[in-house]
Amino acid sequence: MGGRRTRISGSTVVITGASSGIGQATAEAFARQGACLVVVARDRDTIEAVAQDCRDLGARAIAIAADVTDASAMAEVAREAVGFGGTIHVWVSNVGTGAVGAFHEVPLEAHHRVISTNLIGHMNDAHAVLPIFLRQGHGVFINMISLGGFAAAPFAAAYSASKFGLRGFSEALRGELVHHKDIHICDVYPSFVDTPGIFHGANYTGRELSAPPPVLDARRVAKAILDLALRPKPTTMIGAPTALLRLGHAVSPELTTRAMALFLESYFRRAPRAATGSGNLFHPPHKAGRIDGGLRSPAQRSALTGLALGLGALAVAGVALRRRR
């Protein structure tokens, strides 16, 4: 790990956004390998429950209630982690949220919060741990991005801005650290993942939100993160949609963005009505502490598969025809 370790056991691993979804699955995966875990999230009770689950799996673990948008709080997390484990071998920067809705209909403070969480929060993480990595000469910083880092998501403008920015931030860091061969900046780009996150975020559409299949199991993403801790590499894509969207965006950004917009507009017209609200943007979610979001249930798959494939194909064909004209 970081050019110095070949196993997880005994390594000190910090995971932000560990109270549910990918973060919780990752904490449990590292716990099973005997890591010394520092799990971080805003809600003290929820993150303590995750830490206890890790202890039950045989790991040493502490929970820290902190908000990644607070730079001083993340610096304190790094200090506590060093005090707990002696050093930091891996930092998984996993926090992410979103606000779905037409850009002009989403309150500006919601856009600001998404950028602050998804981009500035990850920068705060890196700023806290990189001096430690540089002093010790090794370390692995793992950035959770998403397929949104390669292709824009209409009706989630701030989310897209944050993910594009996060990809650029990671690339810049890798350039700065080119002479430190045992310090690694690793980006993870999963496609849609079955977590509670889609229900936790802000929704200003007035419609129920979901994700088109295929939807990944969060534990598959956690395994990829575990592998990166041992065998770091700059870019890890998980799920076929990520590779396809990356290729499509490289060939024609306008085509893929317009196709996505048409698909989402069609989905919103058909989706059941739902209340609007800011979700977990400004406070922890009311129901946290779950890995799965229920998006892989048979009912969910049957309801969305035909819609996703049919509308997606129609949208692409329609845009292609308009481009020819």
Tens-place pLDDT, residues 84-114: 999 999 999 999 999 999 999 999 999 999 9
Nearest to 28 by CA among 4, 52, 64: 52
For residues 129-146, average pLDDT: 97
Helices (H) and strands (E) in the chain, counts: 11, 11
Judge contact between 295 and 215, C-beta under 8 A. Answer: yes
**pLDDT cut 70: percent of the chain above it:** 89
* Cα–Cα dist 51/61, whole Å: 6
pLDDT of residue 40: 98
pLDDT of residue 194: 94
Its pTM stands at 0.88
Judge contact between 207 and 102, C-beta under 8 A. Answer: no
pLDDT of residue 260: 81
pLDDT of residue 42: 96
pLDDT of residue 6: 56
- The first and second tokens of residue 256, run together, are 């893929």
Q: Which of 27-31, 84-88, 101-105, 257-261 is predicted with the least confidence, judged by mean pLDDT? A: 257-261
Which range is most confident: 82-91, 143-152, 294-303? 82-91
Q: Which of 215-219, 238-242, 299-303 is predicted with the least confidence, judged by mean pLDDT? A: 299-303
* Cα–Cα dist 100/156, whole Å: 5
CA-based torsion, 209, 215, 221, 222: positive or negative: positive
Q: Is the pLDDT of residue 76 over 90?
A: yes
Q: Where are the alpha helices (DSSP H) in the chain?
A: 21-32, 44-56, 71-85, 108-115, 121-136, 157-176, 197-200, 218-230, 240-251, 253-270, 298-324
Judge contact between 36 and 85, C-beta under 8 A. Answer: yes
Q: 255 versus 292: which is more confidently predicted?
A: 292
Q: Is the pLDDT of residue 3 over 50?
A: no
Residue 173 confidence class, pLDDT cut points 50, 70, 90: very high
Q: How many of the other CB atoms lie within 10 Å of CB of 170? A: 22
CATH number of 12-324: 3.40.50.720
For residues 189-206, average pLDDT: 92
pLDDT of residue 240: 85
For residues 256-275, average pLDDT: 87
State the average pLDDT for the chain. 89
Nearest to 142 by CA among 78, 229, 223: 229
* Cα–Cα dist 228/184, whole Å: 10
